[in-house]
Structure 1
């Protein structure tokens, strides 16, 4: 049994296809198939049911796959130890970022990070929170940036900053408000991002509600704050923005912003990674870089953390 064979097993388990798995492992399909067959013969079990399309992992194969993940992770840790001992910070590093954080945070730290750590090949992917959790657990991401707490037993979280929710209320809906409280919110007036965004979950949790009232004359599915702002400017409702997003608004749009009273309802943005702490030296480099640039832009202390998870009905 070899680490290479276990890596091949993990690839087939992920892609359910020998050809694709071989491409991802940069070997020929016959080579990958032969090595997996040799492992099955050694163990005297079938890891994969090749008669099904797509290929399925057998019951005993599922247990082998889980153990293979642990073994491969521990083997990778040896390389981590050596690299840390040598003071080397480099190599591939896959990070996932949720869509409502990506446009504002990434431009703030990316240039500094790649300048300071030119040997790191940073692979950045945009995913929803659920997809990030799934990919971290499968080893498809090394770390992620998302709203927390997630309370996932297999993951660790390092808080980067707290970001308040800010109201965007055109004149039609302001009603002489200078500060907001949850009691000021009429859910039927609020324009929200599509379901699945943890930012939307946060707004609904502030409202202590889980569905829109039926009196709205249209339904909106949008993944863009710009779309919500445009509709609000047309008098179709109000919306909410993350604080960092408000910094790049035009001066004309900024006049429609209303902050919440203290403690401000806020989301907690964290760096998330598996408890195995693989590539922890790169994770710490990311944390230090982001912390260094973010403290000049956002420093709220009197906050009330709103859960990023959907309210249960």
Structure 2
């Protein structure tokens, strides 16, 4: 029995697929299949039920997988003890777009400066897309807006911070002098949406507003700068998380006014998610520690 066989075992269980596991660890599917078969022969038990839909652990297989995960965690810990001064490896992240506007650039810059050996792959999408990345294994760490759609039994989650959605209006909007408005008042104005907001349930603000009136969408952009510029020049509105308002140049110059919704709760929780079978590497743990610290110092303190 070799450590690489245990690693293959855990990876196949993570994705319930030999082919996806092989793709994720950059070896051929026959090599992974042979590794699992040899381990089954050595142990004298069937570890997976192979079907046309995937590979699923048997009862004894599940017990052995859990033991293998514990062994691999101990191996990672030993590696950390031997090399704490020079963290290295790849961190694969999927995140909602709003985190890329203010938070992620600072976090990744700090991470790279402290640990030049760590590389990062970043996928950007709405919360449901982030969940799909975690479930498919194309990302190991996700950052989402928690809604009922994200409550998935094979996913762990941990809160980063609480926030709320506001509406942004231009300085010449009839709403600009109000501190708060009702949702109905806000939705009387045309909306500039981010990407496919409100066209399908992708989580976030779409999920929060799905039981209310549908917004009147005038434009869709996949660029926050374009959205804010358009809002600033007309009577449009757009929905943004409050944490994106800090030091925003459009608000500092009074081109855009953020306004709270008074009659509908648009509170949100930004959270980390990851697959229950995923074992964090030392590099991933360091990224999470830096991210939490930054959110606590810049977001939580602003809200307190």
Pair in the same fold by TM > 0.5: yes
Q: Is the Cα–Cα contact under 8 Å of residues 163 and 267 in structure 1 kept in the other structure?
A: yes
- Matches of 2:47 and 2:70, distance apart in 1: 24
SS of residue paired to 1:211: coil
CA pair 241-249 structure 1, distance change in 2 beyond 3 A: farther
1:3 — aligned with what?
6
CA pair 261-142 structure 1, distance change in 2 beyond 3 A: same
CA pair 223-72 structure 1, distance change in 2 beyond 3 A: farther
Residue in structure 1 matching 2:99, options 94, 98, 101: 101
Gaps of at least 5 residues in structure 1 are 50-55, 303-313
Residue in structure 2 matching 1:200, options 175, 185, 205: 205
- Matches of 1:259 and 1:90, distance apart in 2: 44
Residue in structure 2 matching 1:110, options 92, 108, 111: 108
CA pair 169-40 structure 1, distance change in 2 beyond 3 A: same
Tell me which moved more, 270-279 or 103-112: 270-279
Deviation of 1:244 after TM superposition, in Å, equals 4.1
Residue in structure 1 matching 2:78, options 78, 82, 86: 82
Q: How does 1:24-63 map to 2 (within 5 A)?
A: 24-27=24-27, 31-32=31-32, 34-35=34-35, 48=50, 56-57=52-53, 61-63=55-57
Deviation of 1:179 after TM superposition, in Å, equals 0.6
Q: Is the Cα–Cα contact under 8 Å of residues 172 and 235 in structure 2 kept in the other structure?
A: no
- Matches of 1:11 and 1:292, distance apart in 2: 29
Tell me which moved more, 256-265 or 130-139: 256-265
Q: Is the Cα–Cα contact under 8 Å of residues 143 and 272 in structure 1 kept in the other structure?
A: yes
Find out whether 1:174 has 2:174 as its counterpart: yes
SS of residue paired to 1:174: coil
Q: Is the Cα–Cα contact under 8 Å of residues 8 and 32 in structure 1 kept in the other structure?
A: no
Q: How many residue pairs get matched?
A: 285
SS of residue paired to 2:273: strand
Q: Is the Cα–Cα contact under 8 Å of residues 108 and 294 in structure 1 kept in the other structure?
A: no
Deviation of 1:269 after TM superposition, in Å, equals 1.9
- Matches of 2:24 and 2:278, distance apart in 1: 24
1:309 — aligned with what?
none
Query: Per-residue displacement from partner, 1:218-256 (whole Å, max 9, x unpaired)?
Result: 664433333333443453621122334333334686432
SS of residue paired to 1:163: strand
Q: Is the Cα–Cα contact under 8 Å of residues 89 and 283 in structure 2 kept in the other structure?
A: no
Q: Is the Cα–Cα contact under 8 Å of residues 94 and 141 in structure 2 kept in the other structure?
A: yes
Q: Is the Cα–Cα contact under 8 Å of residues 145 and 269 in structure 1 kept in the other structure?
A: yes
Deviation of 1:102 after TM superposition, in Å, equals 2.0
2:69 — aligned with what?
73
- Matches of 1:300 and 1:252, distance apart in 2: 16
SS of residue paired to 1:229: helix
Give the TM-score normalised by the residue count of structure 2: 0.69
Query: Per-residue displacement from partner, 1:96-119 (whole Å, max 9, x unpaired)?
Result: 211222232111211111222334
1:248 — aligned with what?
248
Q: Is the Cα–Cα contact under 8 Å of residues 169 and 238 in structure 1 kept in the other structure?
A: yes
Higher relative strand content: 2
Gaps of at least 5 residues in structure 2 are none
1:161 — aligned with what?
161
Q: Is the Cα–Cα contact under 8 Å of residues 180 and 260 in structure 2 kept in the other structure?
A: yes
SS of residue paired to 2:111: helix
Give the TM-score normalised by the residue count of structure 1: 0.68
CA pair 279-13 structure 1, distance change in 2 beyond 3 A: closer
CA pair 23-157 structure 1, distance change in 2 beyond 3 A: closer
Tell me which moved more, 286-295 or 95-104: 286-295
CA-atom RMSD, angstroms? Answer: 4.2
CA pair 83-182 structure 1, distance change in 2 beyond 3 A: farther
